Structure 1
Amino acid sequence: MDPHPSRGARQTRRAGPDRLVEDRGGCRRDQGEKRGSITGPSPVDRGKNGSKIHVLVDRAGLPLVVGVSAANVNDHFALPVLVRAIPRVRTPRRARRFRPDKLHADKAYDVRETRKWLINRGIMVRISRKNIDTSTKLGRHRWVVERTLSWLTNHHRRIGTRWEHHGRNYLGFLTLAAALTCFKKLTT
């Protein structure tokens, strides 16, 4: 075998975070992000890596903003990001609105800092309080969000089970599914 490779051969690409790299005993997966980006151990699924979908909807259940986080991230961290991402909406009588008047949420969002942040932005808070409110009190408002999540995950196969390795691709498909859901509901 010739110790010098031919001049026409191309150099192979170096190993990246999602590539196999050489090890003493053979090849191993690089210590990058296992199972893709924006994943974390799920507290309800035996610690398997997974993602969590966050959706901010209007009163009719149309998705306004969607987001993805790791499965082990608390929900209240995603709420300020979603509220800031609400698009400006032109109303017939007033200037453009960019924040809701009232926000309903379940007990996962019951954190003092989150409540303060929403009140400082002028948003009326309707968050169910831990160890005080029953689960039926906000149930008539919460089913709208659950229905929207069902529209997204059941009608779009790529959203229900995450197949994408990169989190930005999954978020792109989720945003596309939300846009298609809005299109279907607004045209009928």
Structure 2
Amino acid sequence: MTLTGANRHDITQLLPLLDAVPPIRGRRGRPRHRPGTLYGDRGYDSNPHRRRLRERGIRPRIARRGVAHGSGLGKVRWVIERGFAWLHAFKRLRTRYERRADIHLGFLQLACALICHRELMKSF
């Protein structure tokens, strides 16, 4: 998770965020460091970024600008939108009151921990 100013484009943080992904555990052998596929909306449509993703072994599934809707990304994008809705349930995150980024990041991490705790409690 990264925190930037409101006037920064999301695409500027795409590659640094992918580089910060920790090893993914699960199967035996060498742990994966990168996802196999990246889904994105039209805001991430950029040929240089698509090329850099392919160089890293990541298949880009990004909707193209100027193409009619119906790319099929809604089947997987609702998970992210649901996560944003859960974060916006915390009013302090929906409207940023803190001037200092470290305090806002702390509240964001606390909200993520509370959301994970709530979802884990549903499974028991």
2:44 alignment partner in structure 1: 109
AA paired with 1:103? L
Q: Please give the root-mean-square deviation of Cα atoms over the aligned residues, in Å.
A: 1.8
Amino acid at match of 1:172: G
Query: 2:19 maps to what in 1?
Result: 84
Other-structure match for 1:153: 88
Partner SS state of residue 3, structure 2: strand
TM-score, with length taken from structure 2: 0.86
Task: Mark the structure with the bigger radius of gyration.
Answer: 1
Q: Indicate how the Cα distance of structure 1 residues 86 and 116 shifts in structure 2: closer, same or farther if over 3 A, else same.
A: same
**2:67 alignment counterpart:** 132
Report if the CA contact (8 A) 1:151-1:181 is conserved.
yes
Same amino acid, percent of matched pairs:
39
Aligned residue-pair number: 122
CA contact (8 A) 1:90 1:97 kept: yes
- Unmatched runs of 5 consecutive residues or more in structure 2: none
* Cα pair distance change 1:148/1:134, threshold 3 Å: same
- 1:119 paired to 2:60: no
Q: Are residues 1:143 and 2:103 paired?
A: no
> Which amino acid in the other structure matches residue 186 of structure 1?
L
Q: Distance in 2 between matches of 1:94 and 1:183?
A: 30
The runs of 5 or more residues in structure 1 that have no matched partner are 1-65
Question: How many angstroms does 1:85 deviate by?
Answer: 1.8
Of 89-98 and 159-168, deviating more is 89-98
User: Whose strand proportion is higher, 1 or 2?
Assistant: 1
